[in-house]
């Protein structure tokens, strides 16, 4: 159960980074 919590937490952080990078890419293109 603890492993699943850590896994989803890390997965959430990765998703946030991907979203931030996507936003930066869109801003760079504009």
Residue 30 pLDDT: 62
Residue 4 burial (CB count, 10 A):
8
Handedness of CA 11, 16, 19, 24 (dihedral sign): negative
CA distance 21 to 18: 5
Structural domain spans, the chain: 1-30
Q: Tell me if the pTM is above 0.85.
A: no
Quote the pLDDT of residue 25.
Answer: 82
pLDDT digits (tens, 9 = 90+) for 1-30: 688 888 887 788 888 888 888 888 878 776
Gap between the Cα atoms of 10 and 4, Å rounded: 10
């Amino acid at each position: 159960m603890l492993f699943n919590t850590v896994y989803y937490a890390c997965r959430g952080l990765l998703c946030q980074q991907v979203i931030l990078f996507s936003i930066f890419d869109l801003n760079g293109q504009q």
